[in-house]
Structure 1
Amino acid sequence: MTQVFLNMGEPTHPYKGPTLLSAGHRPFFLMSALSAVVLLALWLIALLGGLPLSPYWHGHEMLYGFAGAAIGGFMMAAVPKWTNTESPIGWPLAGLVVLWLAGRIGMFIAEFGAGWELFALLDLFFLPVLGMVVAQMIMGAKNARNYVVVAIVAGLFICNLVYHLHEPANALHAGIFMVAALAALIGGRVVPAFTQNALCMHLGREISCTTPMWTHKAVLLLLFVLSGAQLVGAPDMVLGGLSGACAVILLIRMRGWQSFKTGFDPIVWILHAAYVWLPIGFGLKAVSDLTGWLAPNAALHALTTGGIGLLILAVASRAALGHSGRPLKVSRWTVLSYVLVIGAAVLRVLAQTPELILLSGGLWVAGYGIFALVYAPILLKPRIDGLPG
């Protein structure tokens, strides 16, 4: 059984300052939730002709803005527990947040025509700094098991660099696969561990959730190769074959996770509902690349709206509760946010008309809007148990 990826051990560091800056997950999970609403709402306005935003801007900002903030929050919550170190808090943490915000502002300004493009380069600062912070914690502690996390952040930055300086389309898709690699890594550790714990408590007996060990390295290796192949513009047959192999291995990992026994607890079943979008997305990409029977956007949105978007929702809601000293029980409003984002993912994959795309976007904005309203007070207020962090 794989150890729990997101250890909920309690912080011990003293801190005096704004609560929002008392732990790294607080501002980044909040920014992720708010950007999910704002960035998608801006794109819907653009689709209606109200803003001069390009599809590249939309894809980039949902990946490096929305998902980038969530990655920052997750790293700040998990890496200190893996390494028994402290992540930045206070003003150093505020500096990281400013770098992320500067990237969002720069990317938006750059969309308004000639002469403004250089502002987009502000986006290139956040990931390297985040990567250096994460690398210092992981490599400084000689935490070899998680060196792959540093490699994923580095790979994501390389994709972003190619996006800005060379060719955006392939770089954007390659970046999606790098985030999917992190999602697969998180899912492979979190989902079976948390599910086993919850089932043991619910059933009052020992129950095992297992993952074939060979799949851990195999799926990450395939995703690195797929991302590199996409970045250099490999033929569709190669990309489709690699995607199909990823889908199969990702699905094999779920066989021992007891997914159909998790309906008793939303904070558990949402992990499975999120993860399953990864094999679905790569399976759809394989069909699209190998046969041309399916629009490429359907596969990509299965990975982004479904796999990445839902997994962020699942992990952020759990982490925010656990790191605030609250019980790991979600409210009805949180469950509604889960359902709305699932609906957005399904509709976006199936959408054939502009109207359905707009409806899918509306469901996403509503789902993440509810999530932001529910969790903003949790992230902005001190822990209820009086502990720091």
Structure 2
Amino acid sequence: MMKSPLFSQPHRPFFLLGILNAVLFMLLFRLAYIGALGIDAKLLHAYSMFFLVFTNFFYGFTYTTFPRFCATAPIDSRRYLRVWVLQVLATLSFLAALWLPFAFYATVLFVATSLAYTLRIFLGIYRRASASREDPYWIIVAYGMGALANLLFLLAEIPCTHCRTGIFFEYAVSVGFYLYLIFLPTVVAFRMVPLFSRVMEYRKSPWLLQAVIGLLLLHLLVGGYAPRWLFGVDMILAGVLGWEILRIELPFPNRDPMLWGLHLAIFWLPLGFFLGALSELAGAWFSVPMLRLPLHLLALGFLTTILVAFGARVTLGHGGASLRSGRGSSLLFASTQLVLLGRLILSLAVGSGAFFLFFDLSVALWIALFLFWSVLYGRILLFGARGREE
């Protein structure tokens, strides 16, 4: 197994597992939502997306880039493959939990072990770092928040007659989403997007990441105790992030699809918080149902778009193919926006007779996105390639 091209670089097995899980668990979510599976649809959707889809993409990218951030040697394949095996076991046990609910505890254990082992590896690299430690430090913090969210999901599922386990679930979603799924790629984006765009004179504001994580913590606090004022926190976040992005002076618009895909993603970071604030305002003050639209604006507009763009660049760059992308990449990044549009329409259709039609459309667009990604880059991911994308 170690000699196979698939396992020769850390991004390859993790990206492959992430793509497979993105398709599989969205299909299962559709079945759970209509009651065809004996598992809570909210748990299936949240946990699988957090730890069996996005976490695999995070591993694939950070196991490649974290040593570079610290100016140390690459991570030995035996170490990242142990984490990959743990993630495969987590996937299989989560599938078993669809019929054997107690198997979910095994899933949480496998994910907790993979996160703990990753933190151990990264802390060792961090201590030996000969370059700036700021971004590696915040990546480690973000993975720690992911580990905390994993624990909260476990607490939410432990049977307890007198416990308010719903609170554990809500905090698991909030901590896992904002302090892990959004914060970690934010750290990476403000380092890599200017670098890929060749904006070499840009220097990140020294207070930026501290301000972002502080405001995200405030988001969790206000969301729990004063949700009617949550929109104000997100408006401030949108302003802080938008101002910092303007400082970068990205070369946008850009003819290179790989670059405008990255630019589109980072622009969605403040835009997602801004539009999310408007939907929070509508929900809290005017009782307009939004079906967790603020989370999905960021999850699809920023998170999915930047992972697809980073994933495409890493797959091409480390697979021996040219980084000169073509029409396929343009369509791929446009497809991420179609997925977002489908999810926006779904929120607007809440309570209408067409809800399940748009629900199925949203699911289909998500699945089509990852199938299209596989068609474009699957061969390079599996075997490596030479040449130019057509």
TM-score by length of 2: 0.83
In the alignment, which residue of structure 2 is the partner of 1:187? 189
Residue 302 of structure 1 aligns with an amino acid whose one-letter code is L
Give the Cα–Cα distance (whole angstroms) in 2 for the partners of residues 16 and 43 of structure 1: 34
Instruction: Say how many residue pairs are matched.
Output: 360
Pick aligned residue for 1:92 from 36, 57, 79: 79
Q: Which runs of 5+ in 1 are unaligned?
A: 1-14, 198-206
Residue 107 of structure 1 aligns with an amino acid whose one-letter code is F
State yes or no: 1:59 paired with 2:46.
yes
Give the Cα–Cα distance (whole angstroms) in 2 for the partners of residues 228 and 106 of structure 1: 33
State yes or no: 1:218 paired with 2:211.
yes
State yes or no: 1:319 paired with 2:308.
no
Give the Cα–Cα distance (whole angstroms) in 1 for the partners of residues 280 and 254 of structure 2: 35
Give the Cα–Cα distance (whole angstroms) in 1 for the partners of residues 229 and 121 of structure 2: 35
Give the Cα–Cα distance (whole angstroms) in 2 for the partners of residues 377 and 254 of structure 1: 34
How many angstroms does 1:177 deviate by?
Answer: 0.3
Pick aligned residue for 2:296 from 274, 289, 301: 301
Alpha-carbon contact 1:83-1:137 (below 8 Å) kept:
yes
Residue 175 of structure 1 aligns with an amino acid whose one-letter code is G
How many angstroms does 1:228 deviate by?
Answer: 6.4
Give the Cα–Cα distance (whole angstroms) in 2 for the partners of residues 153 and 111 of structure 1: 27
In the alignment, which residue of structure 1 is the partner of 2:21? 35
Alpha-carbon contact 1:196-1:209 (below 8 Å) kept:
no
In the alignment, which residue of structure 2 is the partner of 1:26? 12
Considering Cα pairs closer than 8 Å and 6+ residues apart, tell me whether 1 or 2 has the greater RCO: 1
How many angstroms does 1:157 deviate by?
Answer: 0.8
Moved more, 26-35 or 84-93: 84-93
User: Could you say if the C-alpha distance between residues 130 and 19 of structure 1 is closer, same or farther in structure 2, counting changes exceeding 3 Å?
Assistant: same
How many angstroms does 1:218 deviate by?
Answer: 2.0
Give the Cα–Cα distance (whole angstroms) in 2 for the partners of residues 69 and 214 of structure 1: 29
How many angstroms does 1:94 deviate by?
Answer: 2.2
- Cα deviation, 1:188-207, whole Å, max 9, x if unaligned, reads 2222232245xxxxxxxxx9
User: Could you say if the C-alpha distance between residues 258 and 84 of structure 1 is closer, same or farther in structure 2, counting changes exceeding 3 Å?
Assistant: closer
- Cα deviation, 1:112-136, whole Å, max 9, x if unaligned, reads 3554443343332221111211221
In the alignment, which residue of structure 2 is the partner of 1:158? 148
Give the Cα–Cα distance (whole angstroms) in 2 for the partners of residues 92 and 144 of structure 1: 22
Give the Cα–Cα distance (whole angstroms) in 1 for the partners of residues 32 and 326 of structure 2: 33
TM-score by length of 1: 0.83
User: Could you say if the C-alpha distance between residues 325 and 224 of structure 1 is closer, same or farther in structure 2, counting changes exceeding 3 Å?
Assistant: farther
Aligned ranges 1:1-389 → 2 under 5 Å: 17-53=3-39, 54-112=41-99, 114-122=101-109, 123-141=111-129, 143-145=132-134, 146-166=136-156, 167-178=168-179, 179-196=181-198, 212=205, 214-227=207-220, 233-237=224-228, 239-258=230-249, 261-292=252-283, 293=286, 294=288, 295=290, 297-351=292-346, 352=349, 353-382=355-384, 384=386
Identity within the alignment, %: 24
Give the Cα–Cα distance (whole angstroms) in 1 for the partners of residues 220 and 8 of structure 2: 35
- Cα deviation, 1:260-310, whole Å, max 9, x if unaligned, reads 733411101111221222223222333344442452511111111221111
Residue 172 of structure 1 aligns with an amino acid whose one-letter code is V
- Cα deviation, 1:310-362, whole Å, max 9, x if unaligned, reads 11001110111111232212243333222222101122023112211221221
In the alignment, which residue of structure 2 is the partner of 1:12? none
In the alignment, which residue of structure 1 is the partner of 2:352? none
Moved more, 350-359 or 291-300: 291-300
Moved more, 165-174 or 81-90: 81-90
Alpha-carbon contact 2:320-2:384 (below 8 Å) kept:
no
User: Could you say if the C-alpha distance between residues 249 and 45 of structure 1 is closer, same or farther in structure 2, counting changes exceeding 3 Å?
Assistant: same
Give the Cα–Cα distance (whole angstroms) in 2 for the partners of residues 333 and 383 of structure 1: 16
User: Could you say if the C-alpha distance between residues 120 and 208 of structure 1 is closer, same or farther in structure 2, counting changes exceeding 3 Å?
Assistant: closer
Moved more, 158-167 or 279-288: 279-288
How many angstroms does 1:365 deviate by?
Answer: 0.7
How many angstroms does 1:209 deviate by?
Answer: 6.0
Residue 233 of structure 2 aligns with an amino acid whose one-letter code is L
Give the Cα–Cα distance (whole angstroms) in 2 for the partners of residues 42 and 296 of structure 1: 19
Give the Cα–Cα distance (whole angstroms) in 2 for the partners of residues 362 and 241 of structure 1: 34
Give the Cα–Cα distance (whole angstroms) in 2 for the partners of residues 131 and 196 of structure 1: 30
Q: Which runs of 5+ in 2 are unaligned?
A: 157-167, 350-354
- 3-state SS in 1 of match to 2:225: coil
